[in-house]
């Protein structure tokens, strides 16, 4: 389990439930590494400002991580973390590697209007 | 937010080892302190998987050490705001003003700049677009995406040579591209890389273009001596070309040297009275967690002395 203060997606069922029961979802799939930790940090810091978005993490080395790793939108990705944004269960955006606060919030603002 | 909550004795800009240490010392001395950090707390510490030379701690991840420092600072009453954007600064006056996110204005009598550094990028076309799609700055994070692939490592220092060797665990071939004809690394690191049969060297050269749509597939390598450009098909590029100080905001505000590092005196005071510097953003030779911690301590103690002096002068003037 990742050592963050975010909701952890621990099973494939968790994943399905999260994207089906929440209109807007941001999932960061990574490890406790230097490119991933800053993205978790951004998510923790903005969670309170984006009440309309469910923020969660998923461990890249967990068996159920295929739900993110094998998404067509993540084809070609070769840098952790894989961060995927879902609206009504569908992928609206996916990014690879470290992202800044500005990059994350611009995606949230563009896709998940409050 | 009420006005009093925006007024501090000291504002520390930066939440890495130097900034957090300053926060710990200041808050413990009952100095009202705010740490403002534009990224995630921890700075370059969190780039380190294992710190094994921090005195008193046998082995710890940079993330854990940063979290302990953060907890310590908070326990003494230090306020911390992370992932903010500093939108304007006025440090010349006796009361220093810092605007955050174009709306919150904080004031302080003294400021410590501890903004650290960041990985240097090549700046060639395609680099931004293909980051995470074949271009990486972290071998331990992304090495396993390049199993049996051909990759390039850019750089000639210890990080580049050590990571080139470590990446041979995954890659079928590693080409090390370096702008000079010699390396700026320890002898043992150079020897280890040179004796590895999977590593080739392309010296006096640099990458001038990255190509690819969904992922990186080709680069231009320019020979800096002849100007010749070679187009090379490649699966991945790892870039380790050092660090630059995070001081763009302070250009024209405090004195910087030619490398963009903050110039400080023996008291760690910058060219502005009451504004101190600490950590990797200042002009110095060694950049370690321990040296950042020492800088943060000294800057904090001098900052306390500065504000105490200001208070005494104010009392004397009555």
- Asked if B63 and A100 come within 8 Å (Cβ–Cβ), the reply is no
Calculate mean pLDDT across residues B73-77: 98
Whether residues B219 and B141 fall in one domain = yes
The interface residues of chain B toward chain A in range 30-49, judged by CB-CB distance below 8 A, are: 38-42, 46-49
Whether residues B197 and B249 fall in one domain = no
- Asked if A37 and B40 come within 8 Å (Cβ–Cβ), the reply is yes
Structure tokens at B7: 């007024």
The band of B43, judged by pLDDT with boundaries at 50, 70 and 90, is very high
Residue numbers of the domain that contains B89: 3-118+243-316
- Asked if B140 and A33 come within 8 Å (Cβ–Cβ), the reply is yes
Structure tokens at B126: 């395609």
**Over 90: is that where the pLDDT of B82 sits?**
yes
Whether residues B126 and B88 fall in one domain = no
- Asked if B132 and A34 come within 8 Å (Cβ–Cβ), the reply is no
Whether residues B53 and B109 fall in one domain = yes
Summarize pLDDT for A48-74 with one digit per residue, the tens.
999 999 999 999 999 999 999 999 999
* pLDDT the model gives residue B304: 98
Share of chain B above pLDDT 90, in %: 88
Residue B182 buriedness (CB in 10 A; 0-12 / 13-18 / 19+): exposed
CA distance B101 to B251: 20
Calculate mean pLDDT across residues B287-298: 96
Final residue of a structural domain among B239, B256, B284: B239
CB-nearest to B131 from A33, A46, A79 is A79
**Over 80: is that where the pLDDT of B315 sits?**
no
Summarize pLDDT for B252-289 with one digit per residue, the tens.
999 999 999 999 999 999 999 999 999 999 999 888 99
Q: What stretch of H or E contains B111?
A: strand B104-113
The band of B1, judged by pLDDT with boundaries at 50, 70 and 90, is low
Calculate mean pLDDT across residues B227-239: 97
Does residue A76 sit at the B interface (CB-CB below 8 Å)?
Answer: yes
Share of chain B above pLDDT 70, in %: 97
* pLDDT the model gives residue A79: 96
CB-nearest to A34 from B47, B134, B146 is B47
Calculate mean pLDDT across residues A85-109: 96
Segments making up each domain of chain A, as ranges: 7-111
The pTM assigned to this predicted structure is 0.87
Whether residues B224 and B263 fall in one domain = no
Pairing of strands B104-113, B7-13: parallel
Phi, psi of B314 (to 5 degrees): -65, -45
* pLDDT the model gives residue B33: 98
**Over 90: is that where the pLDDT of B316 sits?**
no
Does residue B238 sit at the A interface (CB-CB below 8 Å)?
Answer: no
Whether residues B254 and B109 fall in one domain = yes
**Over 60: is that where the pLDDT of B37 sits?**
yes
Pairing of strands B243-245, B96-100: unpaired
B88-91: long-range contacts (C-beta < 8 A, 24 or more apart)?
Answer: B89/B249, B89/B250, B89/B253, B91/B253, B91/B254, B91/B272, B91/B275
Calculate mean pLDDT across residues B214-243: 96
Whether residues B216 and B251 fall in one domain = no
- Asked if A33 and B83 come within 8 Å (Cβ–Cβ), the reply is no
Does residue B68 sit at the A interface (CB-CB below 8 Å)?
Answer: no
Final residue of a structural domain among B216, B239, B262: B239
Buried b or exposed e, range B46-75, using 16+ CB within 10 angstroms? bbbeebeebeeeeebbbbbbbbebbebbbe
Whether residues B69 and B105 fall in one domain = yes
Whether residues B223 and B88 fall in one domain = no
Is residue B106 within 8 A of residue B6, CB to CB? The reply is: yes
**Over 80: is that where the pLDDT of A77 sits?**
yes
Calculate mean pLDDT across residues B118-139: 94
Here the CATH number for the domain that contains residue B86 is 3.50.50.60
Calculate mean pLDDT across residues B278-307: 96
Calculate mean pLDDT across residues B144-154: 97
Phi, psi of B88 (to 5 degrees): -160, 160
Is residue B76 within 8 A of residue B140, CB to CB? The reply is: no
- Asked if A34 and B141 come within 8 Å (Cβ–Cβ), the reply is yes
The interface residues of chain A toward chain B in range 32-61, judged by CB-CB distance below 8 A, are: 32-38, 40-42, 45-46
Architecture, CATH, for domain A7-111: 3-Layer(aba) Sandwich (3.40)
Whether residues B76 and B138 fall in one domain = no
**Over 90: is that where the pLDDT of B50 sits?**
no
Is residue B193 within 8 A of residue B165, CB to CB? The reply is: yes
* pLDDT the model gives residue B4: 62
Final residue of a structural domain among B239, B271, B287: B239
Residue A14 buriedness (CB in 10 A; 0-12 / 13-18 / 19+): middle
- Asked if B131 and A100 come within 8 Å (Cβ–Cβ), the reply is no
Whether residues B86 and B127 fall in one domain = no
- Report the mean per-residue pLDDT for chain B: 95
Does residue A96 sit at the B interface (CB-CB below 8 Å)?
Answer: yes
- Asked if B145 and A102 come within 8 Å (Cβ–Cβ), the reply is no
Whether residues B75 and B215 fall in one domain = no
Calculate mean pLDDT across residues A20-27: 98
| ipTM exceeds 0.90 | no
Cα-based angle B197, B200, B204 (whole degrees, multiple of 5): 155
Strand partners of residue B269: B276
The band of B317, judged by pLDDT with boundaries at 50, 70 and 90, is low
Chain A residues with beta carbon closer than 8 angstroms to that of B134? 78
Number of domains observed in the structure of chain B: 2
Chain A residues with beta carbon closer than 8 angstroms to that of B61? 32
């Amino acid at each position: 389990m990742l050592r963050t203060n975010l909701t952890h997606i621990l099973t494939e069922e968790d994943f399905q439930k999260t994207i089906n029961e929440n209109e807007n979802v941001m999932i960061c799939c990574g490890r406790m590494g230097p490119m991933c930790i800053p993205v978790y940090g951004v998510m923790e810091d903005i969670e309170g400002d984006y009440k309309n978005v469910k923020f969660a993490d998923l461990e890249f080395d967990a068996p159920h991580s295929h739900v993110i790793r094998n998404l067509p939108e993540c084809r070609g990705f070769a840098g952790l973390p894989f961060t995927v944004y879902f609206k009504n269960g569908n992928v609206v955006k996916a990014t690879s590697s470290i992202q800044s606060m500005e990059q994350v919030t611009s995606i949230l603002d563009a896709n998940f209007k409050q | 937010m009420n006005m009093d909550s925006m007024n501090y004795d000291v504002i520390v800009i930066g939440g890495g080892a130097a900034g957090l240490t300053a926060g710990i010392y200041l808050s413990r001395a009952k100095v009202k302190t705010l740490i403002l950090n534009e990224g995630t707390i921890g700075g370059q510490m969190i780039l380190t998987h294992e710190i094994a030379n921090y005195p008193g701690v046998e082995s710890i991840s940079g993330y854990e050490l940063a979290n302990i420092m953060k907890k310590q600072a908070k326990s003494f009453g230090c306020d911390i705001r992370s992932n903010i954007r500093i939108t304007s600064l006025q440090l010349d006056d006796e009361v220093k003003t810092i605007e955050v996110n174009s709306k919150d204005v904080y004031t302080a009598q003294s400021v410590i700049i501890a903004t650290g550094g960041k990985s240097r990028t090549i700046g060639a076309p395609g680099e931004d677009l293909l980051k995470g799609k074949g271009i990486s700055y972290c071998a331990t994070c992304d090495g396993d995406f390049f199993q049996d692939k051909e990759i390039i490592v850019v750089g000639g220092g210890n990080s580049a040579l050590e990571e080139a060797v470590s990446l041979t665990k995954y890659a079928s071939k590693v080409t090390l591209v370096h702008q000079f004809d010699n390396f700026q690394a320890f002898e043992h690191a150079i020897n280890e890389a040179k004796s590895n049969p999977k590593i080739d060297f392309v010296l006096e050269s640099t990458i001038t273009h990255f190509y690819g749509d969904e992922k990186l597939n080709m680069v231009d390598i320019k020979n800096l001596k002849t100007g010749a450009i070679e187009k090379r098909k490649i699966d991945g590029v790892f870039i380790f070309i050092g660090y630059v100080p995070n001081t763009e905001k302070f250009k024209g505000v405090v004195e910087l040297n030619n490398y963009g590092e903050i110039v400080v005196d023996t008291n760690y005071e910058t060219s502005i009275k009451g504004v101190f510097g600490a950590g990797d953003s200042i002009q110095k030779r060694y950049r370690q967690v321990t040296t950042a911690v020492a800088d943060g301590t000294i800057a904090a103690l001098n900052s306390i002395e500065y504000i105490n002096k200001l208070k005494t002068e104010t009392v004397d003037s009555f």
